[in-house]
Amino acid sequence: MRRPPEIDLSIHHPAHGGSDRFALAVTRLLRFFADTFFAKRYGHRAIVLETVAAVPGMVGATLTHLRCLRQMKSDRGWIRILMEEAENERMHLMTFLEVCKPTLFERLIVLIVQWLFYIFFFALYLISPKTAHRLVGYFEEEAVISYTHYLAEIDAGRSANVPAPAIACRYWGLPESATLRDVVLVVRADEAHHRDVNHGFAADLGGKTPGAISPYPWHAAELDGPAVQEPVLSGLPAPQSSTNAIG
């Protein structure tokens, strides 16, 4: 069985300047709402928050792509990293949907929050990509903390350690005997990686040297499709069975 990479749970970027302080304040405000609304319902919390977490990567990739076209500059590999981040967050959502089902009210919340957050984050990324990446870095710090609490709930027996969903076993290469605990460990490692990548992007945009990046767990390239996909058009080669998308 692939072991989840060792991650540093204690990483927190201290806020320097107005941009960082704004990002941290927004994160704390959203954390307050999440704590109030979900309390210890970690499965439901994961589902709703992963629908938010999958937005910044796609917005960042789109706006970086357009800026590179306008300025006729290299993206230095950022676009693929950001798109992969969005994809990875969507896989977190698909996985937790197999563990618990959102209520009708939570689905309504997702609809409203997606519109509000998409517009907010799009505007923020246009005005200050550095602040936008710092904000995601802080979101991911909170995600690492949330999943650590989820693990504690499972270990204490307050959340059932059910078998890992098949989609998770395929995506993270976990054995059939894997459990929800194994899934939460690899999801938390994903979040730690996103945390360091986004703080690194913010540092780079601020003219500073990015810090070390937490290792990324292995991921299958097929996502939630069939194990071996048929070519979409005849004559095209079938995709490779699995690769490590980034790093």
- Give 45 or 92: the residue with its C-beta nearer to Fe ion: 92
CB of 139 to Fe ion, least distance (A): 7
* Long-range own/partner contacts, residues 62-66 (CB < 8 A, 24 or more apart): 63/122, 63/125, 63/126, 63/129, 64/129
Which amino acid, one-letter code, is at 214?
S
What is the distance between the alpha carbons of residues 122 and 189, in angstroms, rounded to a whole number? Answer: 26
- Give 20 or 50: the residue with its C-beta nearer to Fe ion: 50
Among 23, 53, 110, 189, binds Fe ion (CB under 5 A): 53
Element (H or E) spanning 69, and its range? helix 55-71
Identify which of 172, 246, 245, 179 has the alpha carbon closest to the alpha carbon of residue 213. 246
Among 20, 182, 191, 196, binds Fe ion (CB under 5 A): 191
**Is 89 an interacting residue with respect to Fe ion (CB under 5 A)?**
yes
CB of 92 to Fe ion, least distance (A): 4
Among 44, 45, 90, 92, binds Fe ion (CB under 5 A): 92
Binding mask 151-180 for Fe ion (x = CB under 5 A): ------------------------------
Positions in 196-235 near Fe ion (CB under 5 A):
none
Among 13, 45, 90, 194, binds Fe ion (CB under 5 A): 194
What is the distance between the alpha carbons of residues 187 and 96, in angstroms, rounded to a whole number? Answer: 10
What is the distance between the alpha carbons of residues 114 and 90, in angstroms, rounded to a whole number? Answer: 14
Binding site for Fe ion (CB under 5 A): 50, 53, 89, 92, 140, 191, 194
